[in-house]
Structure 1
């Protein structure tokens, strides 16, 4: 009897930790940003490290730097298509957390980790076999391709660790712990940041050159992965840490939908770069500058979306449908407000900010031609990212997959290629992005208002049917 009461208190404690802290189900700013800020730290940590890595390798000369660019592109494509290990795991773990089943939520992390290791080892084997041909095609053969291949063969050994870190981020976000992932990621990247100049330039021993960058990456990734593995296996457990085929299968269902969604993004943005290059160097440079500002905006808004995933999943797992709807409204309001502030900042910096990146007049003229399109998109993106997070938290990945694919096929891709055929220039490409974002906004608003995503229960997701 006493044990039963202890279990009930434990479940109640988990429900109180489920994020919707006010009696009326509203999300406080402290709760939302307490989850979002550490998540933002995780999102920006790797891009910041990659800038440092680029600067260190850049001291070796143009050929090693080009080799890093080619090899890094391959590595990024190998790993970034598998973000379902974080986002899908968050959705499933959050529901279990909301139901007071934290041990089961951690088990989602265990199974995602097994999946990460298996997929990671498979990718290592594939890339080791194909590294030469891939880098030869991308690097145009010659010395650049050789350097890229040498870097890639070492760096790809860290792919299982990258994927394990994604899985660890996923289940920890699900149980509303975004602080420990930040510590683990910063620990690994901090070590890489120290090792990179030491190994590349031989600060202590003989210089390893470009290969030293790859070794530093793998060491740091291994440390982060080890920290996440330690967290997922520590503490009292009622479940085995062995692979569970049924759970892995459900995670793969979400993974299929999220991978297809990610591929739609890749097709759109690669097409945009390809078409921009047809309009000359000034257009390409302008597109790169504004696209990086767009990516920065996306990272900031995505941190709020991650908080929404965790809060919505917990509310639905606790069978609090009304609270989940309230979370969706509150997070969207915060996200749109934040996006409007960002848009106002960019509008105010229309003159000086582009000149931080370039002094080339042809590039600056091209930036001017798309700047206000970019500014106009940002508030719409506030809606898209918030409700993406809401629907991902509900496990509604199948709908998001279809909406993204249709928005790309109907909006972005036709506009990009029409811009080329009809000579619309860079503005045509960015109008295409505006159409893409607007169509996605309409789709996620429609789905949210329909209420079909509010499927309750710890083991249910809308992708599996109501």
Structure 2
């Protein structure tokens, strides 16, 4: 249901509204990331006997799953764009009390999402080895990563329904239902991963393919659950008829979502070059980098969840013609995000090895990753600003600014600086992460500056 907008006037009321939406969204983001966290944990503690029987060691296993997951996330941007667009447009209609228009938007979003999911499945399954090559995988990593990718990609159409359906519910002001769905997704993924990777309780020891099968099963069932929920009706949204294409609504969704998709695609394209730089350092460096990324995602959770709340609240307030409350929602979400993420970052600075050893048992990986993880700890306020103010801008109908700022910062700062620090100054993985943290600081500053300007308040959705 929608947040009562008229009541959200004072700072305490704004904080309550942000937390009401944001905390379940943080939980949902945690559970979304848990799929990758569980896979990294289980693969990082892969039985040496199982690894040897499958022809690889732990470093190869971590690199194969990491690169395959990177390919998956690149393809997921197709329907993540639709998901973001549906959140923004539905939030506007809910704020304006136009529920039928919100339901029409839901139907169109699911239709586009299904098409994107099928396209992603085709690309991942057909071109898995070539996609692994694009990220610089060596022969062994390419072989095992392609198998992992093909298995996990089987759920992509239903994964699209999961992402788009949950995003639509968030736009209506319901962040609890997506949280419940992701609890089931993670229960299935965690249970099957623990049983299938090393072969416990009589189940076959499938190695990294077991982790892929577990992720595919959990996300596929999650997609079915979201569709069943929407068919029954939840939070004012109801999928009560088969969708028929509506050009106007499709364009409104894509106009808001495509810049986000382009933003993510440009970012993922930059990562292709980035990963080549890391792979040139060595397999252990890539395994360390992938582990840092996994742990870093923990610190993202408050920012990502509160960005969801900011997108929804800013969109609903603008739909109700309340620009001042929309602005206050964005700034209050940032204040809370900076506090939460700063606290997590402090732990990274104080004890990075504790986090690293939880996920991997390889001491060389721990040694390489310790200093970069400390850098991530110091970058938390900038990351909070980037996530939350970018989400606020999207909710306000200005999706192009995050795209422009990311394109400039990633391609004009992160990549050239990383090349300089790695190739010229030979700083290895430390140089990679110094360039990344510099990029974080620039993007956060630009997002804050643009939101503070207030030009988004005159944007049309």
Normalised by the length of structure 1, the TM-score is 0.81
- Aligned residue pairs total 443
Matched, 1:433 2:436: yes
The structure 2 residue matched to 1:182, chosen from 157, 160, 179, is 179
Residue matched to 1:7: none
SS in 2 for 1:453: helix
Residue matched to 1:61: 51
The structure 2 residue matched to 1:448, chosen from 448, 451, 455, is 451
Matched, 1:94 2:85: no
The structure 2 residue matched to 1:163, chosen from 160, 163, 167, is 160
Residue matched to 2:301: 299
Alignment of 1:194-209 (within 5 A): 194-195=191-192, 201=199
Alignment of 1:7-406 (within 5 A): 17-18=3-4, 21-24=7-10, 27-53=13-39, 58-59=46-47, 60-62=50-52, 63=54, 66=61, 71-80=68-77, 82-131=79-128, 133-134=130-131, 140-141=138-139, 148-195=145-192, 201=199, 214-235=212-233, 241-279=243-281, 287-349=289-351, 369-370=371-372, 373-406=375-408
The answer as to whether partners of 1:165 and 1:225 remain within 8 angstroms in 2 is yes
**C-alpha distance in structure 2 between counterparts of 1:360 and 1:122, whole Å:** 37
> Residues 309 and 131 of structure 1: is their aligned pair in 2 closer, same or farther, counting only changes over 3 Å?
same
SS in 2 for 1:43: helix
SS in 1 for 2:457: coil
- 1:432 CA displacement: 2.0
The answer as to whether partners of 2:18 and 2:332 remain within 8 angstroms in 1 is no
**C-alpha distance in structure 2 between counterparts of 1:373 and 1:196, whole Å:** 31
SS in 1 for 2:425: coil
The answer as to whether partners of 2:231 and 2:240 remain within 8 angstroms in 1 is no
**C-alpha distance in structure 1 between counterparts of 2:216 and 2:361, whole Å:** 37
What is the root-mean-square deviation in Å for CA atoms of aligned residues? 3.6
Summarize deviations over 1:65-120 as a string: whole Å, max 9, x none: 74655654443332245321322221111111111123322332221111111122
- Whose Rg is larger? 1
The answer as to whether partners of 1:381 and 1:441 remain within 8 angstroms in 2 is yes
- More off after superposition, 114-123 vs 53-62: 53-62
The answer as to whether partners of 2:353 and 2:366 remain within 8 angstroms in 1 is no
> Residues 132 and 38 of structure 1: is their aligned pair in 2 closer, same or farther, counting only changes over 3 Å?
same
- 1:29 CA displacement: 3.5
Matched, 1:419 2:421: yes
Summarize deviations over 1:195-223 as a string: whole Å, max 9, x none: 55666749578787766655544443332
Normalised by the length of structure 2, the TM-score is 0.82
Residue matched to 1:8: none
**C-alpha distance in structure 1 between counterparts of 2:339 and 2:359, whole Å:** 27
Unpaired segments of 5 or more residues in structure 1?
1-13, 462-466
> Residues 47 and 323 of structure 1: is their aligned pair in 2 closer, same or farther, counting only changes over 3 Å?
closer
Unpaired segments of 5 or more residues in structure 2?
none
**C-alpha distance in structure 2 between counterparts of 1:206 and 1:422, whole Å:** 48
